[in-house]
Amino acid sequence: MKEVTTTTMQSGTTVPCTTLQEGIIEQAIGLTDVKVLRARARQEVEDGAITAGYKTKTVIKLLNEALATEIVCVLRYKRHYSMATGISSFKVKGEFFQHANEEQVHADQLAERIVQLGGEPNLFPEELLSRSHSEYVEGESLVEMITEDLIAKRIAIDRYREMVAYVGTDDPTTCKILEGILAQEEEHAENLASLLPALVSETKSHRAGS
C-alpha cells in the first residue's frame, strides 16, 4: 500500500503531502482550487450552466444580431417565393419555401436561448435591418434572387463561425445551437449555388434567341 507522508501546518492541522503537491500543480497551470469551485457553484447555483467569467451581455447582443439576420432572411425568402415566376421557378420556389421555414426555426432557437440567458429577444421592426448582418435585397430575376440569397448566406456563415469560436467551451449549449445553425446555413449555400449554373445558362439562351 502506498505510504502517504504528512505535513503539519501552522494551525496544527496535518495535511497529506500528496494533497499539497496537487494544490501546487493546480496553481502552476492556472486551475482554480476545488474548494473555491465548490463554494462558487453553491453560491451561484441559480445561474444554471452559465459560470463566472462568461460574457453573457456580449453573447446576448450577438444572438440578437443573429436573430435579426434570420428574421430578415425569412422575409427575403418569402418575398422571393412569392415573386418567382417562369418555367424554371418550380424547383426554385421549393427551395425558397423550405429555406424560409428553416430560417424561422433558427430564429426561434436563438430567441429561446436569449431568454434562457436572461435577456430579451429584440424584434423591434424598425431595428431589424440595422442589426441584421445581411441586407434585404429583393432582386428581379431568379438569378438575382438566388445571388442575393447566396451572398446573405456567405455573410451569415462567416459570422456564425466567428460566434462559435467566441463562445467556445464557455457555454456548450449556445455553442451547440450555433453549430447546428451554421451547418444548415452551409447546406443552404450549397443548394443555392447548385441552382445558379442552369439558370444562368437558360437566361443566356433566352437572350440569344430573342
pLDDT, tens digit, for every residue of 40-79? 666 655 555 555 556 889 999 999 999 999 999 999 999 9
Transcribe 2-56 into DSSP letters.
Answer: ----EEE-TTS-EEEHHHHHHHHHHHHTTPPPHHHHHHHHHHTGGGTT--TT--H
Q: Which residues pair with 8 in a beta bridge?
A: 14
Question: What digits encode the pLDDT tens for the residues 183-204?
Answer: 999 999 999 999 888 787 665 5
Higher-confidence position of 81 and 37: 81
Residues 56-209: name the CATH superfamily.
Ferritin, core subunit, four-helix bundle (1.20.1260.10)
Q: What pTM, to 2 d.p., does this model score?
A: 0.71
CB 95 within 8 A of CB 153: no
Distance CA 125, CA 127 (A): 5
Q: Which three cell numbers stand for residue 63?
A: 444572438
Distance CA 111, CA 129 (A): 17
Q: Which band of pLDDT confidence, cut at 50, 70 and 90, is reported for residue 178? A: very high
The 8-class DSSP code of residue 137 comes to -
The mean pLDDT value for 4-14 works out to 49
Give the Cβ contact number of residue 51 at 10 Å. 13
CA 187, 190, 193, 199 torsion: positive or negative?
A: negative
Distance CA 164, CA 92 (A): 30
Where in the sequence of the chain do the CATH 1.20.1260.10 domains occur? 56-209
Q: pLDDT above 70 covers what percent of the chain?
A: 71
Q: pLDDT above 90 covers what percent of the chain?
A: 51
What pLDDT, on the 0 to 100 scale, is given for residue 134?
A: 84
Distance CA 18, CA 6 (A): 8
